[in-house]
Amino acid sequence: MQDYEAIPLPDREKYPVEEMLQRADDYYQFIKRRHSVRHFSTEAVPRQVIESCIMAAGTAPSGANHQPWHFVCVGDAELKRKIRIAAEHEEEEFYGGRAGESWLEDLDKLGTDANKPFLETAPWLIAIFLQRSGTDGLGKKQKNYYMSESVGIATGFLLNALHNAGLATLTHTPNPMKFLNEILERPNTERPYILLVVGHAAEEATVPAKAMNKKPLAEISSFVD
Ligand code: IYR
């Protein structure tokens, strides 16, 4: 049985077709300027900016609206250092062979390696955790649904919000990243999902020219209309 008070849809958005076309294209022009950055400056970013971006991420849809995510925002230099050391330790094994031949070949083309100085230079690291189970308002354990879809969408919202605030990001996935539970004291019911590196790009930051080659519309979509 429906167990909620229904209110009329708030915040209704609707635009004339011309404006809709313009807005859709404006948004594309805006989001295509997001690039994964691997060289960060040490320039500080106010905590309040990060807080607003997390609030935006928290508006994402989720299975049964259980919001199965937790964002640990790390600005503390000592903790960032601990994370860097643990991540580089795992990455050394990964790049040393654990990744397997074909994965390493693909990464060789990217030029990434086990060295992750950005984990200390960037002002913020946001460790995103997926909650396998959660608690309701009364502290009773509850099951979560579609966790990776939900957390993936929230992560997308967060990347958008950070880009909109003029910040550079890197979606980093040290492999494995169980160490984040220990360092950040998160329970075993949570799985580290992605480590976002957030700040301003360093002057010398580059991206691969190839990274600009996004697949064309006809390749990534089909229309049946
Ligand atoms: N976790 C490693 C490896 C890595 C994997 C993929 I797939 C990338 O697109 C980039 C890196 C690292 O962060 O270096």
Which tokens belong to 177?
A: 């990243």
Mutate to test the pocket of ligand 1, among 38, 91, 106, 107 (most ligand atoms within 8 A of CB): 107
| Cα(218) to centroid(ligand 1), Å | 28
| Cα(107) to centroid(ligand 1), Å | 7
Q: Residue 172's closest CA among 108, 124, 205, 221? A: 124
| Cα(174) to centroid(ligand 1), Å | 7
DSSP helix/strand/coil, 23: helix
Q: Mean pLDDT in runs of 10 for the chain (225 residues)?
A: 91 96 98 97 98 99 97 98 97 93 90 94 98 89 96 98 98 94 97 98 94 94 97
Give the per-residue pLDDT at 1.
82
Give the per-residue pLDDT at 171.
97
Ligand 1 pocket, 175 CB below 6 A? yes
Ligand 1 pocket, 68 CB below 6 A? no
- Tokens 């019911």 locate to 189
Ligand 1 pocket, 195 CB below 6 A? no
Report angle CA 72, 145, 127 to the nearest 5 degrees.
Answer: 15
**Which DSSP letter does residue 211 get?**
G
| Cα(88) to centroid(ligand 1), Å | 12
